[in-house]
Chains A and B, each alone.
Chain A
Amino acid sequence: MEDLVVDGEERKISAKIMCDSHLFALESDRVFGHSWVFVAHESEIPQAGDFVTRHIGRDPVIVSRGRDGQVGVVLNSCSHRGSQVCAAESGNARTFRCPYHGWSYRGTGELVGVPAEREMYGRQLDRTRLGLKNARVGTYHSLVFATWDPDIPDLLTSLGDMAFYLDTVFGLTDEGMEVLGPPQRWVVNANWKFASDNFAADAYHVYTAHQSVATIGLVRAVSMADAQGTMANVADVAGGHAVGCNRLFEPGTPSDVALKSLVGMFRLPPESVAEIQKNLMSEQVEMLATFPPGVGTIFPNFSWLRAPLPGDIGGAPAPATTIRIWHPLAVDRTEVWSWALVHRGTSEQVRRDAGRAVARTFGSTGMLEADDAEIWTLMQRGLSGSQGQTRWLRYLSRTDADPTWPGPGSAHTGFQTEDNQWHFYRRWAHLMSSSDLT
């Protein structure tokens, strides 16, 4: 894979990794089989028996809450002949029954029923061997991840430098966050990595791709010159994760003043300031008060965005928080899953405003994201031909890490850099190279 993700004077990646279906098939195992993959938010399945059906890479899984309150993730495929045992997208069930021969399972994967077991098999089957295949489950601030790999480090270790930043988005309040109902889903005819790459803090594209929302005055237009010094891109180099932070307050703003203002922008009650100071480390509070983390990607295909965004021109900003799965359907086809999140305990009005602010900016009809999706399909088409596949995607910008950055990870401050995205592809290449080519 070294010839596909090429370091050197010019960092570049081969267009093949976006277009080659053989590589896509390999990715399914090597990347998605050996990473923590986001599957659900805990608030989607609050009660025992609640479930949602999701994917790890291309494999369908059931994510459910057991009678003990624990979240389980199992392959949605019967141990007898492989049929999916659940065809719904969400619901509540005590057991999942295969429609073919009737084998039944609990959400934990345990096989609990085999019709005519003695008549068919003359004995009781060894049910310990015949459960649904279990995935390892890890949760962080109610974000549920799963992996098939028994050997990769636990979720928190795998999140690496990013846990610090996720705390400042999802871990502000004691009660945490919850989803506003089921996700939007839509299908983009482009490789999933374009989207992960974009949310790995590509601030550069904003000036062209999203010019229209600045021109009409929905968001404040900042010239590229004025943006100098307002951005920080931070990478977890080993993990391929990334976060982008944007300075919201003038330098020198006292931290408590900035935090109070931020809490106002997020429409949290004033007492949240103390709650945040209690729940976060002082370095994290300091970061919120200077460069609040705004967008990020957890390798491979989970992204998030949090910003005070207006739902209307001249309207007060609402706390827009969205989380994403870039679900790989094919090498050139990605299903986007997009949720809106709010802090638990938020008033009805703020919930409404937050949902609207997310949907009007990011998501299927989002005035920013509709353009992103369109452009990713143009990239896919531009690169998919035989000449296109000989070409390179270029990540030319690189800067030295800022040693004064107060948080973990390799931070690049100033304007946008392409280091974050580069590390994302390095992680991809590492995983793609790490198994035998058999």
Chain B
Amino acid sequence: MTLITTTTRVASTEQLYGEVFDWLVDESVLLDRGLLSEWLDLLTPDATYQVPVRDIRSRFDTTERRTGEYFHYDETRSSLAVRLRRIAEPTAWAEDPRSTTRHLVSNLRVTRLESGDVLAESYLVLLRHRGQQLDYEILSGERRDVLRRGDDGRLLLASRVVELDRSSLNMVNLAVFL
């Protein structure tokens, strides 16, 4: 992941920064309250959503990393809509009872892109709790979001890549969205 050092960085004192942060906070509310169709409306029609699989190598291994072609999520808006339809079914056992989640977003860095889109890089900590289990499931990572203004001026998610910190997820499944 490249550190953004160009002059297009948006300072936290700028209005755009606050707008992006509010967007992320509002998105978390939708995810955590299970308002998934409203969440889907935050995506552009051609949005992409990816959570790559990672593996952990030695710091000194200079050989080329294999290109990741396999993901936990490799989705389009329409495939996400399919997943949402399924979760709404009474026989979608994995999410009944629904996981309680907290999508905690912080360390936001905002950059204006030449295309006019906005790059929003942030840290994500997901706390997830399932039904009768005693422990929390915790997942952390970094989101790289591209936000784009819709016709009405609202910010929409055009693409998201979530780089997870672990290769092995300490979870029964990843039946929730990041």
Contacts and interface: CB of A to CB of B under 8 A. Distances in A.
B33 interface: no
B172 A373 contact: yes
Given A187-B172, A381-B132, A88 B58 contact: yes
A89 B56 CA distance: 5
Interface string A193-228: 000000000000000110111011010000000000
A355 B173 contact: no
Nearest to B73: A365
B71 interface: yes
Nearest to A185: B168
A263 interface: no
Interface of A: 87-93, 179-189, 208-209, 211-213, 215-216, 218, 311-313, 335, 339-340, 351-352, 355-356, 358-360, 363-367, 369-371, 373-375, 377, 381
A218 B87 CA distance: 13
B70 A355 contact: yes
A11 B71 CA distance: 40
Given A375-B93, A381-B132, A370 B175 contact: yes
A349 to B, nearest CB: 12
Interface string B84-109: 01100111111000000000000000
Nearest to B68: A181
Contact of B92 (A189, A212, A355, A366): A212
A209 B175 contact: no
Contacts of B71: 355-356, 359
Contacts of B133: 189
Contacts of A360: 75, 79, 82-83
Q: Decide if the interface of chain B is mainly helix, strand, loop or mixed.
A: loop
A410 to B, nearest CB: 32
A364 B133 CA distance: 19
Nearest to A378: B93
Contact of A218 (B56, B73, B86): B86
B174 interface: yes
B91 A184 contact: no
Contact of B69 (A88, A181, A371): A181
Given A181-B67, A381-B132, A373 B91 contact: no
A213 B173 contact: no
Nearest to B175: A370
Interface in B44-96: 51, 53-58, 61, 63, 66-76, 78-79, 82-83, 85-86, 89-94
B169 interface: yes
B169 A185 contact: yes
A314 to B, nearest CB: 10
Best-surrounded residue of A188, A339, A359 (most CB of chain B within 10 A): A359
B52 to A, nearest CB: 8
B94 A359 contact: no
Contacts of B61: 88, 91-93
Given A91-B61, A187-B170, A371 B55 contact: no
A153 B57 CA distance: 35
Contacts of B69: 180-181, 340, 351-352, 355
Given A211-B89, A339-B70, A374-B94, A184 B55 contact: no
B72 A359 contact: yes
B89 A88 contact: no
Interface of B: 51, 53-58, 61, 63, 66-76, 78-79, 82-83, 85-86, 89-94, 132-133, 167-175
B79 A312 contact: yes
B172 A377 contact: yes
25 contacts: A88-B57, A179-B70, A181-B66, A181-B68, A182-B54, A183-B53, A184-B53, A187-B169, A188-B172, A188-B173, A208-B91, A211-B89, A212-B92, A215-B89, A218-B86, A312-B78, A312-B79, A335-B168, A339-B70, A340-B70, A360-B83, A365-B173, A370-B175, A371-B91, A373-B172
Given A209-B93, A215-B91, A367 B86 contact: yes
Contacts of B172: 186-189, 373-374, 377
| Top 10 A-B residue pairs of the complex, sorted by shortest distance between their CB atoms | A185-B168, A212-B89, A370-B173, A370-B94, A182-B55, A211-B91, A180-B69, A91-B61, A186-B169, A92-B63
Given A182-B53, A312-B79, A377-B172, 14 more contacts: A92-B61, A186-B169, A186-B171, A186-B174, A212-B92, A216-B82, A340-B69, A360-B79, A364-B169, A365-B72, A367-B82, A369-B173, A374-B93, A374-B172
Nearest to B87: A212
B79 to A, nearest CB: 5
A189 B171 CA distance: 9
Contacts of A352: 69, 74
B17 to A, nearest CB: 32
Contacts of A216: 82, 85-86, 89
B155 to A, nearest CB: 26
Contacts of A365: 51, 72-73, 83, 173-175
Contacts of B92: 212, 371
A48 to B, nearest CB: 11
B70 A90 contact: no
A292 B59 CA distance: 45
A356 B79 contact: yes
A339 to B, nearest CB: 7
Contacts of B63: 91-92
Contacts of B58: 87-88, 91, 93
Given A187-B168, A312-B82, A180 B70 contact: yes
